[in-house]
Chain A
Amino acid sequence: MDGCRSGVPTYEGDLHVVAAAHHIVKALGATKNLSDDLRKILIDLDSHLSMITSNIDSKGGRGLVDVEERLDLAERKIMRWETDPMMIWDSGPKEASDYLEAVDETGKLVDGLRGLSVHENRKQKEILHRAMNIFQTAMSRLEEELIHILVRHGQQFEPKNMYSRSIRKDIVYDESFVSVEDEPTKETSSQNCSNDESGECIVDLVHADVIPDIKSIAKVMFTSNYGPEFCEAFISVQKEALEQYFSFLGTENLSIEDVLKMEWTCLSSKMNKWTWSMKIIVRVYLASEKQLCDQVLGGLGSVSSYCFLEISKATILCLLNFGEAVAMGPHRPEKLLRLLDMYETLADLLRDIDTLFSEEAGSFIQLQFHELLERLGESAIAAFKAFRVAISSNGSLYPFAGGGVHPLNKYVMNYIRMFPEYWNTLNLLLKNQHPGVADQVTKPDYGPDTSLLTSCPMAYHLRSITSCLESNLHKKSQLYKDEALQHIFLMNNIHYLVQKVKGSELRLFFGDEWIRKHNAMFQQHAMNYERATWSSVVSFLKDNNPGSSSMSKSTFKERCKGFSIAFEEVYKTQTSWSIPDPQLREDLRISTSLKVVLAYRTFLGRNLAYTDDKCVKHTVEHVENSLLDLFGGSSRSLRNSRRW
């Protein structure tokens, strides 16, 4: 192309060279698929060549003097800025275009002079060197101006407005599996996302007003063969801007060793942040960077994608490495949801990545993304398995006081309540994972009820998890010496399980049949409790000889005493037991009341003759009221309290 830009042919003999060049330019210009920039360059050349032809025609060999005059003029325009502390592009568009014109002129002169034979006279050689010297000064200056414009007009954008920290999960579940005491869910202040999650969001990384300036600098530097300088400067500034933005997001570089040693709470928040940063970096920052590269360097072949790759590679690798480190770490159950978040984010971004790095050189980055996705998937499955293992192996040495809802149960149910959110991903990952042999029993015997959701892989695994949980709870119930308390414990826990399923999307996966079955299960435990506790108590009130009208006084006395003692004993013990669910507590009291109070009333009614006696320690009302105190979670005694 340099050859075509000849500015000063001094001999007739050159005329045919110019004509040939002109012809080539015209031929090139006729090509259909040319980029706009290239087309413009060709048009420029075309007019320039026409000008030369007319120059040669009119002036013949007198060009050298003319050249020197033109060079003097351009030199003045270029060199005056070398002593000026102002930047050219800051001084105004007129200054900038004057400068570019002078550069263009110098470039033409250089090319023209170089097109001449080297063995020309000394004077000519001198002018060429001078022109090239000025040209170098100008190119060097343009590089500075470029960096200045990019830095000065580079724009930071607030990540907060881009994506909410927790886009769809409103619950942070960061507790480690081993340390669960209370309800481990806490609501976070979830901001609403201003962007649709899938929506592209492109911002101006450099102010839109200066894009034409940058383009004009790019154009002149590339046509003058200073493309490499342009690229290095452009890449340097943009790469640093990205790195700054990266640290602005609060993402620090961590070694793999550091990540592996990190404590769970810290790791969890880093994983969360990663998910968030990854989205912003890829979908907003890199998409915008790509656009900038294309705006500035589009039409220059692979230059744009080369620059984009060089700018983004290091940061991308840094993000990927954190992912690798997380996937490598121990597969603890509490990691599952965070891993799924990371997996889904990555899976979601793959299309963006494949577009951003579609060129061959970028396939390396593409490949790394796909590798990490696979690794995260494996890691998530491993964490899932670890979760089940942790459930079945969670052992206790002592019974859980009061027979309430066990923390393990709470942890597990609150945890799996989140699973439906990850339905698609979990199904995909669990598709080829068979639940253990022991879990075959959980295969649904649902018959016609089986819907699509209850028979998906996740549903199988969910039921397998709850069946692990149930059998563990059964094991835990065996720690109670009191059979009645075993039933209270199981009733409470199975009730809790069913409530959690019913109260969330889990119900769709467990199905009505499962719910019915488990409802029946806790009701059975309630009945078993009543039998275990109250049968013996009520047996005092039973009429052994239904035929006879009434029992003897001494028998009555004895029965009364026996009932009182037994009732007081139950009262003392079972006030300390706990039924956390108020409805369940109420139901059990009513049903107990029906059984006990009714029997007591009948008993007293049948033996009205003796009821005045002091041996009747408790009135029916007393008994009825006392029953309300059961399962309150704090032990009381009837003997000391004299409230009736």
Chain B
Amino acid sequence: MPATDYQASFLGRISIRRNQVIAMDGNHEQELQDLELFSKHVSERFAELLSSPDDVPFDALLSISWLRKLLDFFLCCEAEFKGILMMGNDPSQISKPPLDRLIPEFLDRSVKALDVCNAVTNGLESVRHYQKLAEIVVSALEQKPIGDGQSRRAKKALTSLISAMNVDDKECSAAKATERSWSFSRRGVSSKDRVPEHFRSVSNHVAKNWSAAKQIQAMTNNLVPPRGAEGSGLASPVYTMSVIMVFVMWALVAAIPCQERNGLSAIHFPAPKQLNWAQSITGLHEKIGEEWKKKEKKGTAGLLDEMQKMEKLGNILMDFTDSFQFHGDITDQKAEEAAAHAAELAEPCRRMEEGLLPLQMQIREVFHRIVKTRTELLNALDQVGKSSPPLL
């Protein structure tokens, strides 16, 4: 993550605080300005994400660093949102219509997002495994001269890698875990390098029958843009933040292996084009959705840029090792090509090595932040409930 991102978010936070102080005077004008500023920041941030150049691998759409930027933006938006909702306004507002309905719905969405965070964290364990297998491929093929031995070593790791990446989402879930065994069926198998069956697929799951796609679908329940007079009040940041949350979770699930993603591309959240900030999110949603639809049919571990590169190079190298085994030897040109591809494969490995743990930690940070805000909102509601006259 480039240092400038942090700088930007830091400045963003300062500006929120300044605005909150003024808003506490009860200045309605100021409140409107706050809301405007919030949506302006949101659209700026997402426009930046949308404009990520595809040709610069480091920042490519759905690359690890892109996801980290997305999560960083989420955290910034969230902080700003909380500021607007809880500090800059009359606290009793959150218990009055329409917020008395919107806030509980928002909290419900938050809880669902937490489970998605956990599912994605589990998924990152699989990505870590792909990385390790790919590293074996790289280290086998970077040796010179390439012989049958290394080629077979690479092929074995590639077979595990490709089959692991093609594991159906359903297999990620509970059913398979118990049936797994370590049988190699030694008798009668002539292959020289047996790949153990069910070699380390995703076994950790959120819960039985849990589905990431259904969870995100459920997060979009009741998610409608505020209409009429509501549009100028606090209903609008609640809506904006909800859309951001759903989008972030949706993007994570599309990128990283996850339990049950059937129907992920069918999810759409109504973000009216006339809203400035919505345009970039819709743009991203369409772009990623298209990608997903293409891959969904074939079955994919996820759209994570590094993983896709791995898959592509993995398949090329698989062909190479196949032909190696078939011909027994290869031309120098082919060997050089393979070495070049192996070197290329080292790149996503390196980025995973650098980025996966920080990404995992950041997802955890998002998790904790959502928990914290939820607690604070519940406390605020509780407080308001106490101070208002009892209904009896």
Contacts and interface: CB of A to CB of B under 8 A. Distances in A.
Given A85-B187, A232-B133, A236-B199, A140 B144 contact: no
A78 B348 CA distance: 36
Contacts of A87: 186
Interface residues of B, number: 55
A228 interface: yes
Interface stretch (A11-19, A250-258, A440-448, A486-494): A250-258
B139 interface: yes
A397 B106 CA distance: 37
Nearest to B186: A85
Interface string B84-124: 00000000000000000000000000011011001001100
Contact of A257 (B115, B144, B192): B115
A471 B311 CA distance: 71
A131 B115 CA distance: 51
A348 interface: no
Contacts of B121: 317
Contacts of B200: 232, 235-236, 239-240
Interface string B142-164: 00110111101100110000000
A240 B371 contact: no
Interface string A233-269: 1011101100100010000111111101000000000
A635 B369 CA distance: 61
A321 interface: yes
- A-side interface mostly: helix
B58 interface: no
B127 to A, nearest CB: 13
Contacts of A228: 132, 135-136, 139
Given A140-B192, A260-B111, A310-B128, A147 B153 contact: no
Contact of B182 (A140, A148, A256, A324): A148
B285 interface: no
Contact of A136 (B150, B174, B180, B196): B150
Given A118-B145, A240-B203, 8 more contacts: A147-B184, A236-B196, A236-B199, A253-B207, A253-B208, A254-B207, A258-B207, A371-B368
A256 B357 contact: no
Contacts of B251: none
B182 A151 contact: yes
A562 B368 CA distance: 76
Nearest to A254: B207
A314 interface: yes
29 contacts: A85-B186, A87-B186, A128-B147, A129-B145, A132-B147, A136-B148, A140-B193, A147-B184, A148-B182, A228-B132, A229-B157, A235-B200, A239-B200, A240-B180, A243-B203, A247-B178, A252-B207, A255-B115, A255-B210, A256-B111, A256-B114, A257-B111, A310-B128, A313-B125, A314-B204, A328-B371, A328-B375, A364-B357, A364-B360
Given A132-B147, A240-B180, A231 B374 contact: no
Interface of A: 82, 85, 87, 118, 125, 128-129, 131-137, 139-140, 144, 147-148, 151, 225, 228-229, 231-233, 235-237, 239-240, 243, 247, 252-258, 260, 310, 313-315, 317-318, 321, 324, 328, 361, 364, 368, 371, 375
Given A118-B144, A314-B125, A144 B194 contact: yes
Highest count of chain B CB atoms <10 Å: which of A85, A256, A318, A324: A256
Interface in B306-362: 357, 360-361
Contacts of B374: 328
A232 B132 contact: yes
Given A85-B186, A136-B193, A125 B145 contact: yes
B118 A317 contact: yes
B261 interface: no
A239 B125 CA distance: 11
Contact of A133 (B152, B194, B204, B364): B152
B153 A136 contact: yes
A277 B203 CA distance: 19
Contacts of A368: 364
A340 B367 CA distance: 23
Highest count of chain B CB atoms <10 Å: which of A139, A260, A328, A371: A328
Contacts of B145: 118, 125, 128-129
B371 A136 contact: no
A22 B156 CA distance: 35
